[in-house]
Structure 1
């Protein structure tokens, strides 16, 4: 389309704020005729960058397009924690056209320091926290040419499924469903078409679980692979930074621009641009970790992908998952929950009330941490010892296989309200552990993993992801497989009903 017609589109389309929807929007001619067509919706981030570089649109004009999408979609989806529209408008003309993304708008998760932008971690306790300095990862992200237009919603301190501070984030595929885990806002934003590439953190599955729920591509890098996302310049033991995206190539391009290329831990992989001809030895564990069995509908979807992998020439072998999930989560509680006890004392000191009644912490968070007060010294010592040799929990599986293939989670995507911030960890903590039972052990050992949107549930009609895990340092192998699967079962143009593809913007 010519530059003139693009300018007409940009000038003539106006924001259409839709206050509420109670049922799925039908893909009908009537709806299509009402929609002001967003001609940029089908481009991924690299595609939009190419338009900027070829002067078919400016970064500032594209920022306005994304702001319009937010105004139309966020009242429905509720995935934006903090708007940064004016910041994005000011920065848009500054981005160099030589940068990878050349000023393409993006969102970052509300769990990382961006100078001048509120970071709450989804908690009232930090609702006024504004960092004055960006972490190194964010500096690299912005240097790549991505323009931050806001932050995405998270449950309080990355625990649970919903945010008490920001309210429920709804799934663009069906508004009655959750987006799962702390990058839920990021997954929803990509699925709804706010932007095609969003930053996320993964501390227990949080780039993979929302991708399972929302039909997006999620990547968890190896520990120490990326630039630091922490204010002290270090690396969180469990949490890594990367992307949730509509295409593999967007994720791979951002990975390249935010990868630590010092070689101190791993040799950099650079920008991976396509699949490999290497055929892989893949261990297929469809039944989940021990103690958390997979439901039949999720197993059925994974069986079909196992057949696809075999048809592509990979050697797929059925195994039982090597991780004992019951043992893992028992030790996880003993080792990590006591470290948050000082937070309870801080809240009580501020409010003079018990943490669960303080108004600064949700009941879910407060009761989760309070549980640790009953742990004995021997239990805490045992939990710490378990994680000192975390690699042993996988039983040397990567000595025999290149990849471990599993469901992302053993269940269908949960409906909203299945775990509420107002509920007690003592009553429903086991349900949250079940949701993350397959993903969390990956973080404990520091391996890399992806969630690939390859299936749809025959039971619910919701997306179903497949997870592939590789030994730490094998990130390139995962990207190459993701490209191959993307070619075999393309997902980019499968749009959720509640998205900019189907709702007027």
Structure 2
């Protein structure tokens, strides 16, 4: 068995500094883990083994992570490595330069070993695409892990790496962690170093790690956040819980768009009781966003983003979009449907999304944090829908329903986290708890995460299809 399986990235760095093993030896251990587990779970797109081997022993041991290998989501520019976004159209895309966030990851002493699977251009709720295939849940391979940081979540849950990178544009660093029993954090908007090639910040998407332990995520956060002070002063490294007691708003589902699974609602009520037992004040409160209006606004917003992609694909293939073969049927037909969205509709959708920031700001005048489900369902069956299907309004609502509690937070700019505190008796899958704080209050969430990790430890709870039980 892998004797290092129980170590998190912080612990591995400490052992590297103690010279219990070398960076090169650790790279080979992680390579072997990938070779053993990827054929069964399919969480990788590209490997960068030789790159990692060449960097081993060149990373200073006094760097915070001292050369610990990491996997990056295949949706961020890493100089010299392919970035496919899970799409046939992007297979030849090799960025020349790393974005600021990746530069900070490597400066922290993390050694990039490869990239993880995503749905094509993050366009669907199940991690599956026509190029690399479907990623399986290590708790039950017949189920998905949602999306879009699905490959990264599986790699961590299966014990391949203690920490992996994710991006979150509508829930991607919370949904897969919820379905795999790990910790996931979405920072405040503009909190982290830029993950975009032009150095700007996306209106919805942020970068941060998925991990088995809170301290790994907190340390990575402190090393990759922006130090500009615009719009928030740096948080720094949060090392443990706070004595501060919080006022918590427990979200009661309104049944709009989809009714939350009773098992999930009950799990959150039990977590609310845990919070009360820890001395926090909890009261029920309604979800402040109309899910039907959110679904409509998000569809219009998406319609305003894809015109350039349609043009690029048709120029590259010299054929109409649906005949190009460069995009999945789902994404191509979604783009075609979006062409019917008018400029007025797009503006209307964006106006609704822009109003979410003051809506949540008002909520956080009454509460320190909200406690809600991550998703209204535990996890989708792996092939409940596939990228070969044509886009329909019904399928659009299927996706929007599963983003009901996560996507509004991105447009509100708030930080949020998925904490693995419950498991489904029916499916045997994890159920995350979704904690949301006011914009800029990322540190408060980390303090709470440490407290919950201590109160209900999850680090030693392993998926059946993980390296805890599979010999390497």
TM-score between the two structures when normalised by the length of structure 2: 0.97
- State the secondary structure of the residue aligned to 1:151: strand
2:287 pairs with 1:327: no
- 1:277-426 correspondence to structure 2 within 5 Å: 277-287=243-253, 290-394=256-360, 396-426=362-392
The match for 2:108 is 144
1:124 is displaced (CA, Å) by: 0.6
Distance 1:306 1:462 in 2: 20
Q: Give the match's secondary structure for 2:165.
A: strand
User: Structure 1: 5+ residue runs without aligned partners?
Assistant: 1-36
Contact 1:322–1:395 (8 Å) recurs in 2: no
CA distance in 2, matches of 1:381, 1:476: 34
Q: Which residue of 1 aligns with 2:469?
A: 502
* TM-superposition CA deviations, 1:297-330 (whole Å, max 9, x none): 1111111111101111100101111111111121
Q: Does 1:135 align with 2:99?
A: yes
State how 1:443-458 maps to structure 2 within 5 Å.
443-458=410-425
Aligned to 1:30: none
Deviation at 1:395, TM superposition (A): 7.1
Contact 1:284/1:319 (8 A) holds in 2 = yes
User: Contact 1:59–1:104 (CA<8 Å) still a contact in 2?
Assistant: yes
2:335 & 2:254 partners in 1: Cα distance? 27
Aligned pair count reads 469
- 3-state DSSP class of the match of 1:67? helix
Q: Does 1:117 align with 2:84?
A: no
For residues 137-168 of structure 1, give each alpha carbon's deviation from its aligned partner in whole angstroms, at most 9, with x where no partner exists: 11110111100000000111111112221101
What is residue 198 of structure 1 aligned with on the other side? 164
**Residue matched to 2:45:** 81
1:338 and 1:369 in contact (8 A); partners too: no
* Greater C-alpha Rg: 1
Identify the match of residue 5 of structure 2 among 32, 41, 56.
Answer: 41
Determine if contact 1:285/1:320 at 8 Å carries over to the other structure. Answer: yes
Kindly report the root-mean-square deviation, in angstroms, between the aligned alpha carbons of the 2 structures: 1.3
Deviates further, 71-80 or 336-345? 336-345
Residues 213, 341 of structure 1: alpha-carbon distance in 2 compared, 3 angstrom cutoff? same
Deviation at 1:393, TM superposition (A): 4.0
Q: Aligned in 2, Cα 1:263/1:269: closer, same or farther, shift over 3 Å? A: same
The answer (yes or no) to whether the contact 1:104–1:146 under 8 Å persists in 2 is yes
CA distance in 2, matches of 1:99, 1:303: 42
Note the C-alpha offset of 1:290.
3.9
2:34 corresponds to which residue?
A: 70
1:47–1:259 distance in 2 versus 1, CA, 3 Å: same
SS at match of 1:93: coil
Provide TM-score, normalisation by structure 1.
Answer: 0.91
Q: Which one of 204, 212, 232 corresponds to residue 238 of structure 1?
A: 204
Deviation of the 1:476 alpha carbon? 0.3
Q: Residues 265-308 of structure 1: CA distance to partner in whole angstroms, max 9, x if unpaired? A: 11111000000010000000042674332111111111111110
Distance in 2 of aligned mates of 1:349 and 1:135: 27
Structure 2 spans left out of the alignment, 5+ residues: none
Deviations 1:16-36 (A, max 9, x none): xxxxxxxxxxxxxxxxxxxxx
Question: Matched residues in 2 for 1:349 and 1:60: separation?
Answer: 44
Counterpart CA distance in 2 for 1:324 and 1:432 is 16
Q: Describe the shift of the 1:71–1:121 C-alpha distance in structure 2 as closer, same or farther (beyond 3 A).
A: same
* Conserved? CA contact 1:289–1:322, under 8 Å: no
Structure 1 range deviating more: 342-351 or 325-334: 342-351
Asked whether the 8 Å contact 1:156–1:163 carries over to 2, the reply is yes
